[in-house]
Structure formats: C-alpha cells, structure tokens
Structure 1
Amino acid sequence: MKDHGLPTPVLEIGGTHVTAALVQGAGEGGWQVVPDSLVRRDLDAHASAASLLDAVAAAANSLDAVATTANPPGQAHNGRWGVALPGPFDYLTGIARYEHVGKFDQLQGVDVRAGLAQRLSREPRSITFLNDADAFGIGEYVLGAAGGSRRAVCITLGTGVGSVFLADGVPVKTGADVPPDGHCYLLQFRGRPLEDTVSRRAIRRAYAAATAAVRQDAAVRRDAAVTDDTAGTDAAMTDHDAGAPDVREIAEACRAGDALAAAVLGDAFAAAGEAAGPYLERFGAEVLIVGGSMAESWDIVEPAIRKGLAAVAPVLATLPIRKAERTEEAGLVGAAFWAQRAASHS
C-alpha cells in the first residue's frame, strides 16, 4: 500500500493506560503528533489477556475515525503500527514475558502481535514493538534534545529507572559499553539494585525513614529514655510508603530548606550518576538526556546527577546534561520512527 505521506499510527501502553495517536514523519514541520489525533484510555493491568488486547485494539481502531484533509478518502494512516510498551517483552517476536511483575501477568506467553493484528485486521508484520524507554529516548533524539550528538544516552526517572543508549538514533543493547540490554535499572548501587535507591518508592521510603529517625531521636532526648535506635527506621521501611509525601512534595520541602529532603534527593540522584557513569564513559556519550516525572525538579536533579557522574568518572564532569524537551510527544514519535525504520528495512 502506498502511504501518500500518510501519518504513522502508534500505541504507547503503560501500566494504567494506553495512548493511541497519529505521527507525521520527517518533512515540512518535522516529526510531530497530528493535532487532535491523540486518544488515551484506561487499562486494567490485572485484566484477562483478551480484555487487555480488546482495550488496546479499541484505542487503536479509534484512529480510523481521525481524518485529515491531506489523506486520500478512507485512509487515516499508513497502517505501519509502532507499539511502545514496558518489558519484560520479546520485542522481536511480539511475545509477552510478564510474570510476577505486578502488571500484565495474564499476558505471559501471549502472542500480542498476532492478537492485535487479528483485532486490527492487519498483517502481523505491520506491527513493530519496542521498549517504552527506548521509544522515549529515540523520540527525544529525533526531536532534537540530543543536539546532533551521535552517541546519546537517555534515562527516565519515575516509578523506576528507564534508559536507552543510542548510536545514531539506534538503541545499543549488547557489549561491554552498555548495561545488560542497555537497561540501567539492572545495575547495582553499593550492593543493592539501583531502584532500591532511585525510584519513587525508594525515595519515599528513605524520606520516611529519615524523618522517623529524627522524631525518634527527639523523643529520646525529651524522655531521657533508652530506646532502640533502629526501631523507627525499620518500621518506616516495612510500610511501603510509611505515610511519606510524594517525590514532588519532598522536592518542594527541599527548596523550602528541609535538610533531610535535600539529603535524600541528593543521595538518590547522585546514585543514578554513580551507577550509570562508568557506562556513559565507556560508551563515549556526548550528551545525557534526563526525562520522567522527577526531571520536573531539574534544579535538584541535574546537579546531583552531575556530582555522581564526576565522582566515578571525572571526565564526565562537563558532560552536557539536558532535560527532556518533548515529554508528552517523545514516546509516540519514537514509536513511529522505529516503525518507519522497520518498514524501510523489510
């Protein structure tokens, strides 16, 4: 099918939602999401496999109703689907590998490509999958955050740590220069998984533990009684969030002069730099792009990451670190770019 310059349809699947959109490729105006094409629907990550695929397909099929004056009659898009979603997933075969990860467990072993192709009335080969962090990084690269750099690294900081190492816009997954499969969340920091230090849950727990310890110490001094110094901390760590404020609120407390908040956030983001630093150096990264919800606290995130990088690789002390520029569009554009690339190589 000739696409007549038609936009590429994409899906971005998260733990609570699916987003469908049309993305116009390179050309006049550059890569961009087609105005008014975006559809976002809720997903129940614990639903049956059939229900999940039905929900995703419903969002996808809604794009057929999107019409632009430039499209030939009856054609809303070129039919080359790009689908970005989290792992564990076999992106080449389209087989889900979710097991004991707290979401999409019912998709374990399911051929998602075949299931979607049937529901979309498309050939399976028309659907290209990629990791959501890869899609985001590729999108930021395509949209200009990499500033023309040939070797760029993008990390996302939110519920966990996402990452992609890009060579000329293509994810690098193997070799000693990158973490396993290019994923920083698989790295260790001081003998523990990195996400035990850098993640939404880890930061909330650390702040809860720190404030509990201070309260306990104050009580000890006030009552002049002997107490177990670790009791408050252990209790805070046992409760998943221990009533702690969210990361955004902890960042606000940091700006307001809360020394505990500053220490917790500084330690967490420096850990990201320390863990990833050796790989950025070996990879020859020319720029580090940081996205995710925590990047909104850029005044706190950037100097802490730089401190961590410099601590393990002094050469990275001057590495350009840039906040992701197109957070809402990047994953969608990255999925479209990857689908177009797959089509051109088929």
Structure 2
Amino acid sequence: MILGVDIGGSHITVACIDIDKKEIIKSQLVSVPVDSQGTADDIIDRWVYAIKEAKKGIPPGALEGIGIAIPGPFDYYNGIFAFRMEQKYDALFCMNIKEILVRRLELSDDTLMRFYNDAACFGIGEVWKGKLKNIKRGLAITLGTGFGASFLFHGLPIQSGEDIPKDGELYHVPFKAGIADDYFSTRWFVKKYAELTGETIAGVKELTEAEDKKLITATIFKEFSENLAQFLAPWLLTYEASALVIGGNIANAWNFFYPILKKELEKRKCYTELHRSELQEDAILLGSARLVNDIFYKGLSF
C-alpha cells in the first residue's frame, strides 16, 4: 500500500492507494485545511497529523512508501524548501521537509518518501488512469488558485526541450500585460468581475451561480476562453499535443467556457482533443503514488 499526498496552498489531502488496482481507498482519505502563512510548527503539525491519520488504515509493515505532490519552486529530489514560494510557506524556507517528516512519522529506513511538482503529478495521474491514457503527447493543465501545466511524453512529464517552456511550466510565460498566471487563475475572475460590477465575489463558483448576472458571467467567460485559446494554441500546435486535459476548480465551470475555447482553438487550426478531468484531485494523488515506483521515478527529470 502507498500513501499519496497532495499539498496545496490551503490544504493537505492524503489517501491510501492500492497501486495494483490503481484505486484510492476513499474510506481512508484524509483532508485537512492548512494556513500556508502560519508558523513552521503549525504547518508541519497539520501535515504530520493528516499523514498519520491516513496511515492508520495500513497494516504494520505494509506501507511501501509515500509520494508527495507539492507546488514549486521546491527541491523535489532532496525534499527541501530551497526556494521561496510566492505567498505561501515562507516559514518553511530552507527547511528539509523530508528529514522532518521521516523523523516525525517514525518511518523505517526502507520506507520511501519522494516529492514532485503537483501539476506534474496531475498529468501523471491522468496518463495512468485518466483522459491521457495511451496518449503519446499530451498537455495537462490545472486552473484554480494558480495555473499549473505539465507536458507529457509517453507518460512522463517533460521539463526541457525545444518546444517546452522553462521547467515544463506555463504559469510564468509572458501574456498580454503580465504572465499567464495572471489571466488563468481565480484571481483574474475576481478582478474582472469587480471591474465590470464594482462588486466582489469569492471565486468562479459564485460567478456561475449568480442568476441575476448572467450577461456579466457570459461576458467574463467569453474573454477568459478567448484568452486561453490565444495562449494555448501555439504550445499545443508546436508540441503536437493530441489531447489536452483540464482540471482544477475552474474546470467545474466547463460548460461556461468549453464551447468558446474549442471554437477559438479551431479558428487557429488547433484541433487538439479537449477533456475535462474526471479524476480532478484524485489524479494528483494517483500521480504522487507513482513516485514510489523505482523504474518510473528514475525516468523523471529534476
């Protein structure tokens, strides 16, 4: 049995995963809110609590390893917060998380613990059991509090190459008056809604449920879809991706942006298959569990 871990900006989710069946045991899934701006002790205490709770469902000696998906920048190979993250986990800067967790969880020397980028783990999970299964070249993106991306080639995330952006990510790529992350994340919707109405919303879900603002909602999603097509088309075409899978909270508003996105991509001669992730966070958990496989792990780039 393997523990798959998804560490986000506001939570930690841990699941027991049957690697042979590629199944998450839902009865043993634990999700705990985390204040990413809290103290180091508070953050790590919550992480340890969640992992210990999920670990209770595994018989003694049956834990093969722990795979942890975490946002970057991060020293994934060594498990160290070697870089400062934007607006989260400042208190953990320079800390060796791997050493701390191994000690706090009282893991044996032969229990593996491995880390990798959360967006890449989402893509790995989609290849393993989701919409990118049997796809040679695919792109997986997550749209939520941030914009995550992973270019997949025969199931492995690609971080460099002629047609690949720096570190295999898209959030930092320049777009219009800023970078992609400014336009393809929740904060863009919040900002655009405030510009058009002078009012505030918490996020995309609230926007889609605003029955009295249907015209405003349609206008915002139209602009979002056109921007996303304009940004993605060159990457999809150059990389020759045969499929794109979209996850994250914004993907729950699929019917609000998919028709326009598809139309705008086709206007640019981009006919990549578009899929809404059915796995969502489960893809990240499954992808993190794959890190425990030695052969797969050795094929990853760091």
TM-score, structure 1 length as denominator? 0.79
Shift of 1:63: 3.2
Tell me which moved more, 179-188 or 116-125.
116-125
Please tell me whether residue 321 in structure 1 is matched to residue 274 in structure 2: yes
CA contact 2:3–2:17 (8 Å) conserved in 1: yes
List per-residue Cα deviations over 1:2-49 (Å, max 9, x = no partner).
xxxxx11122111222112111113xxx31112412112222212222
- 2:6 pairs with 8, 12, 22, which one? 12
Partner of 1:273: 229
Measure, in 1, the Cα distance between the counterparts of 2:30 and 2:152: 29
Aligned to 2:40: 49
Distance 1:108 1:257, change over 3 A: closer
Distance 1:295 1:259 in 2: 20
- Per-residue deviation, 1:259: 3.0
User: Which one-letter code corresponds to 2:184 in the other structure?
Assistant: V
Cα deviations by residue, 1:239-265 (Å, 9 ceiling, x for unpaired): xxx524632232345x87833321211
- Identical residues among aligned pairs (%): 29
The aligned counterpart of 2:122 is: 136
**Alignment gaps of 5+ in structure 1:** 1-6, 213-241
Instruction: Give the letter aligned to residue 90 of structure 2.
Output: D
| Matching residue within 164, 183, 205 for 1:178 | 164
Deviation at 1:345, TM superposition (A): 4.1
Whether the 8 Å contact between 1:98 and 1:104 is mirrored in structure 2 is no
Report the equivalent of 1:31. Answer: 22
2-side partners of 1:153 and 1:97: how far apart?
A: 27
Which of 106, 113, 119 is residue 104 of structure 2 equivalent to? 119
- Listed one character per residue, the Cα deviations across residues 147-181 of structure 1 (whole Å, up to 9, x for unaligned) are 42111111111112111111111100111212221
Pair 260,83 (structure 1): closer, same or farther in 2 beyond 3 Å = same
Q: For residues 61-76 of structure 1, what are the structure 2 equivalents within 5 Å?
A: 61-67=52-58, 74-76=60-62
Aligned pair partner of 2:261 in 282, 287, 305 = 305
Aligned residue for 1:105? 90
Asked if structure 2 preserves the Cα contact closer than 8 Å seen for 1:54 and 1:119, the reply is no
Q: How does 1:255-294 map to 2 (within 5 A)?
A: 258-294=214-250
Q: What is the correspondence of 1:77-92 to structure 2 with a 5 Å cutoff?
A: 77-78=63-64, 80-92=65-77
Aligned position for 2:284: 331
- Paired residues of 1:113 and 1:124 also in contact (CA < 8 A): no
Say if 1:100 and 1:35 are closer, same or farther in 2 by CA, change over 3 A.
Answer: closer
Any stretches of 5+ residues in structure 2 without a counterpart?
none
TM-score when scaled to structure 2?
0.89
* CA separation of 1:327 and 1:345: change in aligned 2, threshold 3 A: same
CA contact (8 A) 2:52 2:105 kept: yes
Q: Deviations over 1:268-311 (max 9, x none)?
A: 13212221221211211010001111111111221232244345
Instruction: Give the whole-Å Cα distance in 2 for the aligned partners of 1:256 and 1:284.
Output: 41
Bigger CA drift: 281-290 or 118-127?
118-127
Give the distance between the partners of 2:298 and 2:197, measured in 1 at CA: 55
Structure-2 change in CA distance of 1:208 and 1:305 (3 Å): same
Amino acid across the alignment from 1:340? N
2:181 is aligned with 1:187:
no
Describe the shift of the 1:272–1:124 C-alpha distance in structure 2 as closer, same or farther (beyond 3 A): farther
CA RMSD of aligned residues (A): 2.4
Cα distance between partner residues in 1 of 2:72 and 2:8: 10
Aligned length: 298
Amino acid at match of 1:51: D
